[in-house]
Structure 1
Amino acid sequence: MTASPRTPSAAPKTDTTDATDTTEPAAGTGRKPPRRRKRAALLTMAAVVVAAGTSLAVTRPWNTDHDAVQSGPRDTTTKVERTSLSSGMKISGRLSYDAPTDVIAQGQGMITWLPAPGDTINAGGKLYETDGESVVMFTGGRPLWRELAAGVSNGPDVKQLERNLVVLGYAKGLGLTVDEKFTAATATAVKRWQKATGLTQTGRVPLGRVVMLPQRTVRVQEVPGKLGSAAAVNTVVKVSGTALVAIVQPGEDQLSQFGPGRQVTIRLNGGAEIPGKVRSMTPGSGGNGGDEGIQDKPTVTITLADQDAARTAGQSSVTVTLIGTTVDDALVVPVTALLALDGGGYGVEVVTDGTTRLVRVELGLIANAKVQVTGDIREGDTVVIPE
């Protein structure tokens, strides 16, 4: 059998017989000419596989025999290893607090108090202050766009307000129904809330006095607002959730590996490793990412199983490893040792007592530039890595 470049293709497994090299000896030498060796076409494919972080199993019909050939000059050799082989992919990322949100002021007035970065604010708490009165955080999915008071038309903003008044305990004993209608019971609950918060008790909720945020508890990330400045239509504070998540930005060729629910391992800045799970992927904008000609990449958000360990590391860089296939007790050689054989299949050249023999091997898992092999080969055998 001879070795030549060949791209592998899927084929059913079949029984095979021994193959014998029938090449005639070169005249006057009494031995076969040195075998022509070329690097397998598989190597290019394997490099792509490794770069993409995926695993590949290739099976083909093989002959189990080998040909012995006279050893010639060899560039390098390596030993067959018995080890565990794992596929997967590593990518750099960072720990960040989840769901960052800009709080944009909707009301008029001068900013008279601001929180500090790192502060935690619960629903019903003060986000900032204008003209000496609190701007309060409620929980809801859509911003308020009008003043809410008796006589306003029905709407989902009324329902959001009433839900918060009930959850925070200001509607006890009022028989308040959480719906889209602003009733007398709603106005009474508003007055109770205003009294507890130190606001003027009017039963009306002016635009800008309440900020709806999706979380029940937020962490102050940044404070762009300035004391003494006008609040209207400016970002006063930037908040986030209180849980840390891992954020990575894979390349387009890596996106398929980040499906929702994919299990990963996160290596923290201090060396600790914690489990994680892919939650979502946000497509890139396709526009400039700050620098001319640079496109925003897709962003993958990964939830963390151990928030205590994550908080110890804080907002910092991490390494995310996608968990792939693992094969234990595998015979492994570098992919660069593979030869594509004429007639199909792959082999390696094994060096024994100064001579080489070409051994057919079956390929298993390919990962990290190594390949699992089976055949007439043993741990510790010396194999050739051809140029």
Structure 2
Amino acid sequence: MAAGAVALVAVAAGGAGAVALAARGEPEPPAPGRAPVETTSVERTDLSDTRSLPGTLGFGAERPLRGAGEGLVTGLPKPGAAVLRGRPLYWVDDRPVPVFFGATPLFRELGKIGLRGRDVTTVADNLAALGYAIGARSGPAAVTTPSRGKPLPGDVFTASLRAALKRWQLDTGLPATGTLDVGQVAVLPGPARVGSVQARLGDPAAGELITLTRAVKVVTVPVNAADVGGIRRGMRVAVLLPADQEIPGKVTVIGTAATDGTSDGGAPQVSVTVTPARSADVKTLDSARVEVRFTVRARRDVLAVPVGALLALREGGYALQLPGGKLLAAKTGMFARGLVEVSGPGITPGLTVVTSS
């Protein structure tokens, strides 16, 4: 009762003061109004969830190359040398050991007409790629094994292939025997680059000789194993070079083995390889620390508002508030860059809604 009396007195006093001001011809003070509200508009836009991770530009990890066969090493390449099909990689007993590309190394002597195998395919593929006429090829379905009825893998060593091999040996400076034995060629998966030289002249050929790297520069990015699921092979990325130059790239390899990480409490990490779209963009850099921006999720042509425009409803869910106070139920989608995707009845592009920021 006392409080009510105080309120009444305050109101009465205020009224008397207003009357007194009016009697003296002074203007009345403005009546208190609503505080102004900040508004924004619903916009149609593209949203993307990006993640920037540190990486290292270089030629990737080095992998060792072991020689095979007998003899002593008499010549070795220089670090940084290109490894090309048909070109000598090192020398054994003063004879060049050229490079073939393929999936199967030589594991026996080839020379007998009628031999079949994937090592024969390696020889046939490379001689054909080097421009030698190898004749008709016999595919794996030509004969079957007597016991299981399954096709024998690989090509057949034919007279035409042997003749092509002789011509190639003569052109390469090898004895033109028409046979090829273990260790006489180095079989690699593809073009490469010499990383470092491990062997010395006079070492046995059957040992670790050199290390190889990729032929082109790549970016190696360690990614937490828990986060690598959002990255896929072929994904387009942006690489930020030290001079703040941004170049395009593509994810080319996603590792399958997790290693102990050096960040985030040592969380397991997977190595992701990114290849620049244009090798000329990194021509002047031998190695560098870079940043790689992955766009792990994207939504095109959606309606969005600032996150501050969302109102959490007591009964659950969200709403947008119109300047007059009306609420529109809003279904939320992707959050990115301070914006949130919204949809629902009445939510249209250009709609003005209240926001807290």
Please give the range of the TM-score, normalised by the shorter of the 2 chains.
0.5 to 0.7
Name the counterpart of 1:260: 233
For 2:245, the aligned partner's letter is A
Bigger radius of gyration: 2
SS class of match (1:253): coil
The CA distance in 2 between the partners of 1:155 and 1:372, in whole Å, is 58
Is contact 2:113–2:159 with CA below 8 Å preserved after alignment? no
1:366 to 311, 335, 339: 335
Aligned letter for 2:131?
G
For 1:270, what is the secondary structure of its paired residue?
A: coil
| Alignment-derived partner of residue 230 in structure 1 | 204
| TM score, norm. by length of structure 1 | 0.62
Aligned-pair CA distance for 1:201 = 2.7
Larger relative CO (CA 8 A, sep 6+): 1 or 2?
A: 1
Partner of 2:281: 309
For 2:287, the aligned partner's letter is Q
| Aligned mate of 1:274, from 240, 247, 250 | 247
Runs of 4+ in 1 over 4 A off after TM superposition: 26-30, 78-86, 98-101, 287-290, 293-296, 325-331, 345-349, 357-365, 368-378
Partner of 1:178: 137
Structure 2: 5+ residue stretches without partners: 8-32, 139-154
Alignment-derived partner of residue 170 in structure 2: 195
Identity of matched residues, % = 31
Q: Who is 2:76 aligned against?
A: 114
Aligned length: 298
Alpha carbons of 1:99 and 1:159: their partners in 2 closer, same or farther (altered >3 Å)?
A: farther
Judge conservation of contact 1:140–1:212 (CA < 8 Å) in 2.
yes
User: What is the DSSP-based 3-state SS (H/G/I as helix, E as strand, rest coil) of the residue aligned with 1:128?
Assistant: strand
Q: Distance in 1 between matches of 2:194 and 2:41?
A: 53
**C-alpha distance in structure 1 between counterparts of 2:65 and 2:287, whole Å:** 21
1:326-365 alignment runs, 5 A limit: 332=306, 340-346=312-318, 365=334
* Aligned mate of 1:147, from 93, 109, 119: 109
CA deviations over 1:225-248 (Å, ceiling 9, x no partner): 2222222132x2222342333332
Deviation at 1:328, TM superposition (A): 9.9
- Name the amino acid aligned to 2:136: T
Cα distance change of structure 1 residues 339 and 132 upon mapping to structure 2, 3 Å threshold: same
TM-score by structure 2 length?
0.66
Amino acid at match of 1:278: V
Shift, 1:343, TM fit? 2.5
Q: Which range moved further: 244-253 or 322-331?
A: 322-331
Task: Tell me the CA shift for residue 309 of structure 1.
Answer: 0.4
Structure 1 letter corresponding to 2:213? S
How far apart are residue 294 of structure 1 and its match?
6.3
Q: What is the Cα deviation at residue 200 of structure 1? A: 2.4
SS at match of 2:111: coil
Structure 2 equivalent of residue 169 of structure 1: 131
